[in-house]
Amino acid sequence: MRLARQHSWDLSLAEAAALQRRLAGEVAERPLGGRVGIVAGTDVSYSPGEEALFAAVVLLAFPSLEPVGQATVRGVPRFPYVPGFLSFRELPPLLDCFRRLELVPDVVLCDGQGRAHPRRFGLACHLGWWLDVPVIGCAKSRLTGTAAPPGPRRGASTRLLDARTGELLGRVVRTRSGVSPVFVSTGHAITLPEAVRLTLRCARATRLPEPTRQAHMLSKAARSAPPRAPLC
């Protein structure tokens, strides 16, 4: 798969924040333009002590959710762990995974934030900017914003809002009855209602959508496998 855009990763924290603010204006929220036939999921795992990371991307046919492709990359973190800057740490190896794929996904579900980010440019937005394909942010925890708890039944959701401005950042979605919700926001080239619907269609029996769940299992398996090449 060819990447649509690029920028330097050699940035200070201040330069990374400035880049997020600038690129946030280039992220689009628009309806999906066609049929969804392939969905991708992404995840990154770390070795003990975080000396190495293991990025994984899986491709699933939709709506069957049968696997049709995958890629993994082993690397080293080259950016410090700072809340709000996860994409600068995890995106380079994830992009290497996408480069190795022969098929282009119609939608990517990302284990991270999209617009629900202090500078409106989380990991899902950053990934969507690089790939220029629809991306959904589906995070396990809240980074910013306030929301009432959704109802206890699967499919219930509430608005995630900026406490100061009232801006709609995403939705808190119950993907499984009686289980903690996930935090859904747009990453790129998709609307929030579509992002919520697709997340629910991909989360059939578990809290996490199947694409990100399978990517998580793949990244953990890659972490357990013996190294085949030097860390990149």
pLDDT, tens digit, 9 for 90 and up, residues 108-130: 999 999 999 999 999 999 999 99
- CA-wise closest residue to 169 among 4, 1, 29, 8: 29
Q: Which residue has better confidence, 51 or 208? A: 208
Task: Write out the DSSP string of 147-196.
Answer: -PPPPSSTT-EEEEE-TTT--EEEEEE-SSTTS--EEEEEEESS-HHHHH
Please, what is the Cα angle at 115 between 114 and 117, to 5 degrees? 90
Amino acid at site 71? A
> What domains appear along the chain, each with residue ranges and CATH number?
43-224 (3.30.2170.10)
What are the tens digits of pLDDT across the range 71-87?
A: 999 999 999 999 999 99
The C-alpha angle 102, 19, 77, rounded to 5 degrees, equals: 60
Tokens coding 35: 């049929």
pLDDT tens digit sequence for 166-179: 999 999 999 999 99
- In this predicted structure, what is the pLDDT of residue 133? 96
